[in-house]
Structure 1
Amino acid sequence: MTIRHLRIFIEVADSGKMSIAASKFFISQPTVSQTIKELEEHYGVLLFERLSKKLYITEEGRQLLSYARQVVSQFDNLEEKMLETNHREKIRIGATITVGNCILADIINSFKESNPEVEVCAYVSNTKIIQEKLLKSELDIAIVEGKIKSPDLICLPAVDDYLVLACSKNHPFAKKKKIKLTELSNVSFAMREQGSGTRELFENYISDHGVDIKTVWEGNCPGAIKNAVMQNQYLAVISVRLVEEEIKNGEIYVIQNSECEWDRHFSMVYHKNKFISEAMKNLMGVVKNYKDTDVLQGISTGKLIKG
């Protein structure tokens, strides 16, 4: 079994077709088929089901795929480090949209102060996509607000955060100190897109309490969501960090969950087989030591109650 075997296997698994793998590696389709057969014989397992001329990866195949991605990634890193002169270490950091909008820049700047020789490349998307990129070794580490579901990823709580219900200063809720949970079913919401950790946490909460909400606006841009709240009189559930300026300016009124059920963590995530370099350890230290003041200190807010 060689790195070449694993590269071909990964391409077949990703594309679902041996012909595409053959084209990518400039080899014949029978050669691809023979490579997969050699892997199956080497490990004594079936990697793909072949049904109606289509390939379906097996559970054993998925297990090998997870390890294969890491092995190939580490081999490529080894080649890069050993063959390049004046090599500059690079860390690919992912962040979910909330994290990317409120703390990622500070974290990168703090890290660069003590690690100026390390190049940092950042990628921002929702939790679902960040998880996929970690599993494919397209990212080294990530900071996310959503729930990580893959058992192949290590998730370490790092930075405290919580959601608030946001409305404009002109919304009827802005005149109330207490809002009943059942009142949410009668108003329009601006929501994050599917795959967002913020959305998942809130939807699980309202589902657990038997409340249906009316979603009239969806998007992945926090700025656009804030505009929808202030200009269109929608409600939105959002990280308190993202509305700090608008709260202090009096443009947005926030309603807190009275039982802290929207408290959460931003977590550091990386693959369980990932080699943790000294630079990555330093970055993790910066994240763990990240401090922020309470945005709502001294601010009058409403309370969401279940009554």
Structure 2
Amino acid sequence: MRFTLRQLEVFLAVAHHQSISRAADELVMSQSAVSGSLKELEQKHSAQLFDRVGKRLQLNELGARLRPSCEALLVQAAELEQEFTQQRRASEIRVGATLTVGNYLCVELIDRYRQRTGEGRVHLEVANTRHIVRELLDFNIDLGMIEGEVQHPDLDVIPWQSDELVCICAPAHHLAATGELGIDEIGEVAWILREPGSGTRQTFERALRGYLSQLNISLELQHTEAIKRAVQANMGVSCLSRIAVADALKRGDLVELAAPALDLHRQLYVILHRQKYLSAGLRTWLAVCGVAPR
């Protein structure tokens, strides 16, 4: 074998950071040691894995093709080492979740995961759908849980569970008395919405496809809780996941507006890179979510 696991670790760290110095910091190595290890790996195989652009290293086509296999090999090597030493170390996974899933569903999932794995650790990153997809494609996270619809040849998109959006307003809003949002009122009210790129915004725009030009969007906010507070302050109406507003509706802080003309149902998804190795930790997480691995 003409490579070492350490050389693969160096390759993956440089691919992630696109920088020798930042890879050296992560691996607690000198920059010269990282550079030498990468150079030896390339020379032994007569292969160039990066394009050098100034001080930045950009993964080339060959490097991008080898990256998933190298990552999978290192994960399997770590699992094998645990078997040799007969240690059941905590399984660590990196999960990326969109805001509704991350803020309102993932805590319970993490608790169930820890119960199954003992002290299994979950590194949770919460962002919008567009960001989670980018992180998954770059192998910065192991798995994504999203609200938006995604189509990409490198991703497995697995239906997880159903959800629906609801239109909401403050108890003091003039629509609260009727509890309904009619077609004529869609263009009259001030809307407070999630930012473009979020799954919630994607579902909302699909439901209002024929009325988008009529919308009066007064605010676009990245955080669901901020939107809820703005709506409670009677700054406008919004459309959010029922999961996110259930408690506020129950308390009476918000009022649901029926919108029979709009289809606000959607699907939540688990997404995986097609070349991602399914470690024991990932398989356990999928089981906790009730999702069958591919």
TM-score norm. by structure 2 comes to 0.74
Shift of the 95–50 alpha-carbon distance from structure 1 to 2, 3 Å rule, reads closer
Judge conservation of contact 1:97–1:124 (CA < 8 Å) in 2: no
Partner of 2:64: helix, strand, or coil? helix
Give the Cα–Cα distance (whole angstroms) in 2 for the partners of residues 112 and 51 of structure 1: 43
Query: SS at 1:99's partner residue?
Result: helix
Deviation digits for residues 188-209 of structure 1, max 9, x if unmatched? 3323345422123324554565
Shift of 1:225: 1.7
CA RMSD after TM alignment: 3.7
Following the alignment from structure 1 to structure 2, what is the Cα–Cα distance between the partners of residues 39 and 205? Answer: 56
Structure 2 partner of 1:274? 277
Q: Give the letter aligned to residue 38 of structure 1.
A: Q
Aligned-pair identity in percent equals 26
Task: Report SS of the residue matched to 1:245.
Answer: helix
**Gapped regions of structure 2 (runs ≥ 5):** none
C-alpha displacement of 1:97: 1.8
> Equivalences for 1:1-307 in 2 at 5 Å?
1-18=3-20, 20-21=22-23, 25-28=29-32, 31=36, 34-35=39-40, 37-38=42-43, 41-42=46-47, 47-50=49-52, 55-79=57-81, 82-83=84-85, 85=87, 87-110=89-112, 115=116, 117-126=118-127, 127-135=129-137, 139-176=141-178, 177-180=180-183, 183-206=185-208, 209-211=211-213, 213-258=215-260, 261-272=263-274, 273-277=276-280, 280-281=282-283, 283-288=285-290
1:285 deviates by 3.8
Going from structure 1 to structure 2, the CA distance change for 1:190 and 1:76 (only over 3 Å counts) comes to farther
How has the CA–CA distance of structure 1 residues 171 and 82 changed in structure 2, closer, same or farther, with 3 Å as cutoff?
Answer: farther
Deviation of residue 168 (structure 1)? 1.4
Query: CA–CA distance in 2 between the matches of 1:17 and 1:91?
Result: 24
**In the TM superposition, what is the alpha-carbon distance from 1:41 to its structure 2 partner?**
2.6
State the aligned residue count.
283
Query: C-alpha distance in 2, partners of 1:111/1:207?
Result: 39
How far residue 98 of structure 1 moved from its aligned partner, in angstroms, is: 0.7
Once residues 209 and 130 of structure 2 are traced to their aligned partners in structure 1, the CA distance between those partners, rounded to angstroms, is 20
Q: Provide the secondary structure at the position in 1 that maps to 2:156.
A: strand
Residue 229 of structure 1 deviates from its aligned partner by: 0.6
Q: Equivalents in 1 of 2:55, 2:120: separation in Å?
A: 45
Residue range with higher mean Cα deviation, 230-239 or 253-262? 253-262
